[in-house]
Chains A and B, each alone.
Chain A
Amino acid sequence: NAGVTQTPKFQVLKTGQSMTLQCAQDMNHEYMSWYRQDPGMGLRLIHYSVGAGITDQGEVPNGYNVSRSTTEDFPLRLLSAAPSQTSVYFCASSLSGYVEAFFGQGTRLTVV
């Protein structure tokens, strides 16, 4: 059971670089989300998707792009990395919006 798989687990970027965080799920879930976790802040929603081809912004979308071309994949793109984007990023998926979400193991990103 793979569940939700995030790659990479760790990444160091220089300011201004771009990169894509990958997220894949094998549970045929319609709902997928990206959160960032910062100390003392809990998890904050970046972007979410309710199905292939449908995405929307969450609480902290600035500096991030998403797309959802398949049910399985929901990549998160950092267009021009900034030190403020240093964080741990979690991808989650769920069968619907009102049942429990399954989380990946996280990507620890450092922007220098």
Chain B
Amino acid sequence: AQSVTQLGSHVSVSEGALVLLRCNYSSSVPPYLFWYVQYPNQGLQLLLKYTSAATLVKGINGFEAEFKKSETSFHLTKPSAHMSDAAEYFCAVSVSRWYGGSQGNLIFGKGTKLSVKP
């Protein structure tokens, strides 16, 4: 079975500082990995995805993530935080049904709330 662990339910950074949100996954077969962002009272929006192409993935709003198989990690980073980055971020994994996945449905981590201080 697949699972996702997000380290830190709350992360606080200063505006202009590096953002690092941690995600570790568990999967015995090649995973697809996603980061979603949720702004208050809104649905989820895709930030970026890894689907076995390049290990360094660039997303929207200056975010990027690196897939590290040896560490089973897919951490999300942004060099310089903006106030508008304050939101909740979710890491998710899915697996092809050819490997026994449930038609590729997403398994989510519990989320990390990012606060940005002025």
Contacts and interface: CB of A to CB of B under 8 A. Distances in A.
Contacts of A33: 105-106
Contacts of B105: 33, 45, 48, 58, 97
B50 to A, nearest CB: 11
A31 B103 contact: yes
A98 B32 contact: yes
Contact of B46 (A40, A41, A100): A100
Contacts of B74: none
Given A40-B110, A50-B103, A100-B34, A90 B46 contact: no
* Max chain B Cβ within 10 angstroms of own Cβ: one of A42, A58, A94: A42
Interface stretch (A60-68, A75-83, A103-111): A103-111
A42 B110 contact: yes
A97 B109 contact: no
A94 B94 CA distance: 13
Nearest to A40: B110
Nearest to B107: A45
A101 interface: yes
Interface stretch (B11-19, B37-45, B65-73, B77-85): B37-45
Contacts of B49: 99-100
A107 B41 CA distance: 10
7 contacts: A35-B108, A42-B111, A56-B102, A98-B32, A98-B94, A101-B44, A101-B106
Given A33-B106, A43-B90, A97-B101, 17 more contacts: A33-B105, A40-B9, A40-B110, A43-B44, A44-B108, A48-B103, A58-B105, A97-B97, A98-B32, A98-B51, A98-B104, A101-B44, A101-B106, A103-B44, A104-B43, A105-B42, A105-B43
Interface of A: 4, 31, 33, 35, 40-45, 48, 50, 56, 58, 90, 92, 94, 96-101, 103-106
Closest 7 CB pairs of A and B: A97-B104, A103-B43, A42-B108, A42-B110, A100-B46, A43-B108, A97-B103
Interface of B: 9, 32, 34, 36, 41-46, 49, 51, 90, 94, 96-97, 101-111
